[in-house]
Amino acid sequence: MTQSAFEQTSEQITDTIHKASRAASSAAEAIEDGVGAARRAVKQGSYAAVELFDDAKRGVQRNPIEAVVATFAVGIATGTALSWIMKKKRHCCCADRHEAGL
């Protein structure tokens, strides 16, 4: 009876070790697949960025005046938006101080 209990325990331990080994192998394969997919995505993103840069460069070379006007317009819009946000933020801070009695 004692021998069979030890044998059962031994079999269960062996089975558990085998399952853990399979799970570890599966996890390692999944990690390798994920790393491979990430590398491919980075490589594709790099190619897309280079292509976008080249297209932009060609566009500026073909239409330099339009590029300057567009850059100027984006700068004005960005400055206006930042100014509006800062003004609104300062106004909110002042209102909070007023309510606090400062």
* Contact (CB, 8 A) for 76 and 83: no
pLDDT tens figures, 9-63: 888 888 899 898 999 999 999 999 999 999 999 999 999 999 999 999 999 999 9
pLDDT band at 2; cut points 50, 70, 90: low
Q: What is the pLDDT of residues 60-102, one digit of tens each?
A: 999 999 999 999 999 999 999 999 999 887 766 555 555 555 5
